[in-house]
Structure 1
């Protein structure tokens, strides 16, 4: 997540360039607040004679499925991520950089903080196993602590696509979007068609192709945002287009072709998420004048920079910390209202504030992994492109496996090994042949 930083990695309001789109930063930080809120609300813990129960209270709400059309913010994450990626890529190109430079930087930015999380989870899960924590309880805790890791796999795939897709966008922007949209629809048709086969064939692996088509298409929408395409339309047209997206969603979900719940559409991703992301960015542009005034408020900028400068760290750690917070509450024998009851809802704001306090406290020392420089050491050569490519693949595998199954002590352990190896592969080696490009890869804004 982009943030304004000084040379030492600390935030400074004065360091914000006049050309910077603070609304994009605001959106990403607002999405982070929404993600933490949704994950907190999805954990309903009850304590009774039968023991500790865990459920998702949100699914009991009659309006929850339709509410995800507005509250599912991950598509918008990929749109604004596309904006930031194209901006960074173009800046790197102006300095003489290439695809290897870009991907090396992104691997370091995304994987180093993830290594820290995997190291903690591996240690914690092995200790819990050694002290005899019941297997069923440990399985639930581990799975919950790794739910958010799918994003790393999806985002790394999209980041690897940026140089190529930026070139396609420059040459044929609308044909590129049409090709991605067609691919997404074809994958959905195959997946949904095979779902209804009489042989019990698992069609989900086919749906995984949409990690390229759906998330890649949303990233491509971010490219259009960076080009200012949405600025050309009057507000009423933006609102009308957003309404058309929602009408299309109604048509696609009305006959049961697609699930109404956009969280169900997420892994593997399905085409309706594109409509959700497009509707959201259209509404953002419609509200742009108001958002611009909002981000000029001093206190808003301070919140944006505190959260934005450690966004990846917060995202990775918020679920394990929320679980730890509830675990501490159980140890202290604090009252746990019946999930989804009036008392439960009234207690959520206090838990939300406590969760953010804990997240900000713990992320303070951990953010160093996110903010560490990516410049090559003096005398070091840039790793070969094959090493960078291999590192990217190795970094994708652990969160991808968690997305397809669940986190446990074993995939946390070997995942830590692969992620550590990925970082080592993209670290410059001293004593090799000097790299000839003049680019200095010190990129604080990611």
Structure 2
């Protein structure tokens, strides 16, 4: 009988993983935390009112900096790679599209449902304790801002099986059709001035960026030589600059985020080329134990970090309300330097919070048989509507209640009726690390 040592088991688990992709996913989410900390400057104004301003976006370098600092396109690219691998794993186990989407919905929806319930209770408690209603509503709306990602990513996950099949059969035509759709939506939005038309690009921009990840997964991008990759990156960023200077699009990628627009696709192309160029160095880094430990720790709680970070960022920024004479004035050198200990506190508290809630990222311990497609469609809609509402309208006291109810219902529907553990030990949600 062969005995497997812990070291050998660790090597086996790491084998076959693209650890540089894992590193990028972790860094993308952690950078979001830092950027939100830089963007949120609370201050007590001369009239005693509480205000806030986006400090970093006021800087003259921010627009061009956002081409590299707005990493959501790159996150969707590496997410596309992960989805390609996850769908292949599902197929190897004999599963289908329903199995894949159910697992993804539970992995994303379960921690989101917990967030809605707990954070919603905190917001209601703040109102009950006498915090001014305007401040409570501002807090609720601010906390919901990052949730757009959940709606967009779930929509992308829903189309992975179909999109992979289309990519395998007609990669150029699939990407071309999505790109044409993106341009058409932007054109109609610009010609009519109807901003809601741009919401159609949620169904086009992010799946198109996801398909860049498919090109990485199937080896197409890896076959490009360094000069070609440099050329792709230079061309992509040059086109972003041209579009920004034309006045048709903003050069600021934060302005292009919701609804998403064509420049985000180009940013995704450019960032992917830079990632592949840096990959040898990233691979070397990820062969070290400290880097693997860091990614292993953060990578198992990315949804927790993303969902909970803004609550903690706001709490740290709110120290200005209790010590307005101690906290440096917003935008001053002292304020910028204070971001270092402030962010250290944010990440420390996030680590503590994750000890209690990160386990929900694994989804329910036991599930029932995979629900039928109609039930999964209902669950998917219930899971997408609350974050979509948060993106378009903003959360408030009432939205936290029905949003929590919808997210919990989505998880319960997708989970199905759990079978007794003794009767079927295979009922656990498959572990999908990709």
Where on the TM-score scale, by shorter chain, does this alignment land: which range? over 0.9
5 Å-filtered alignment, 1:116-155, equals: 116-155=114-153
5 Å-filtered alignment, 1:283-432, equals: 283-328=274-319, 330-331=321-322, 335-373=326-364, 376=367, 380-429=368-417
C-alpha distance in 2 between matches for 1:323 and 1:98: 42
Task: Name which of structure 1's ranges 383-392 and 175-184 shifts more when overlaid on structure 2.
Answer: 383-392
Partner of 1:16: 13
C-alpha distance in 2 between matches for 1:108 and 1:287: 33
Corresponding residue to 1:253 among 244, 268, 278 = 244
**Unpaired runs of 5+ in structure 2?**
1-8, 421-425
C-alpha distance in 1 between matches for 2:70 and 2:46: 36
Shift of 1:375: 5.3
C-alpha distance in 2 between matches for 1:107 and 1:307: 21
C-alpha distance in 2 between matches for 1:411 and 1:241: 44
Task: Name which of structure 1's ranges 160-169 and 124-133 shifts more when overlaid on structure 2.
Answer: 124-133
Deviations 1:367-389 (A, max 9, x none): 1111245653xxx4322221111
C-alpha distance in 1 between matches for 2:428 and 2:301: 23
Equivalent pair of 1:147/1:406 in contact (CA under 8 Å): yes
C-alpha distance in 2 between matches for 1:386 and 1:180: 26
Deviations 1:383-425 (A, max 9, x none): 2221111100110000000000111111111000011110111
State TM-score, norm by structure 1. 0.90
C-alpha distance in 2 between matches for 1:153 and 1:113: 14
Tell me the SS of whatever aligns to 2:30.
Answer: helix
Distance 1:323 1:346, change over 3 A: same
Partner of 2:189: 191
Shift of 1:440: 7.1
C-alpha distance in 1 between matches for 2:241 and 2:313: 34
C-alpha distance in 2 between matches for 1:358 and 1:311: 14
Tell me the SS of whatever aligns to 2:318.
Answer: helix
Shift of 1:236: 1.7
C-alpha distance in 1 between matches for 2:288 and 2:372: 45
Tell me the SS of whatever aligns to 1:53.
Answer: strand
**Unpaired runs of 5+ in structure 1?**
1-11, 196-202, 433-437
C-alpha distance in 1 between matches for 2:347 and 2:12: 26
**Which 4+ residue blocks in structure 1 deviate beyond 6 angstroms?**
none
C-alpha distance in 2 between matches for 1:321 and 1:167: 41
C-alpha distance in 2 between matches for 1:40 and 1:331: 18
Distance 1:311 1:258, change over 3 A: same
Shift of 1:130: 2.1
Equivalent pair of 1:150/1:399 in contact (CA under 8 Å): yes
C-alpha distance in 1 between matches for 2:239 and 2:12: 43
Partner of 1:172: 170
Deviations 1:289-326 (A, max 9, x none): 11111111211111111110000111000001111223
Whether 1:275 aligns to 2:242 is: no
Corresponding residue to 1:230 among 194, 202, 221 = 221
Deviations 1:108-165 (A, max 9, x none): 0001000111011221222222232112222221122111101000001111010110
Q: Which protein has the bigger helix share?
A: 2
Equivalent pair of 2:86/2:432 in contact (CA under 8 Å): no
Q: Alignment RMSD, CA only?
A: 1.9
Distance 1:334 1:156, change over 3 A: farther
Distance 1:148 1:431, change over 3 A: closer
C-alpha distance in 1 between matches for 2:346 and 2:150: 22
C-alpha distance in 1 between matches for 2:365 and 2:156: 20
Shift of 1:19: 1.3
Tell me the SS of whatever aligns to 1:16.
Answer: helix
Partner of 1:31: 28
Deviations 1:328-358 (A, max 9, x none): 5633667221222111111111111111001
Equivalent pair of 1:207/1:268 in contact (CA under 8 Å): yes
C-alpha distance in 2 between matches for 1:420 and 1:291: 39
Corresponding residue to 1:212 among 166, 181, 203 = 203
Task: Name which of structure 1's ranges 83-92 and 118-127 shifts more when overlaid on structure 2.
Answer: 118-127
Partner of 1:7: none
Tell me the SS of whatever aligns to 2:52.
Answer: strand
Shift of 1:439: 9.4
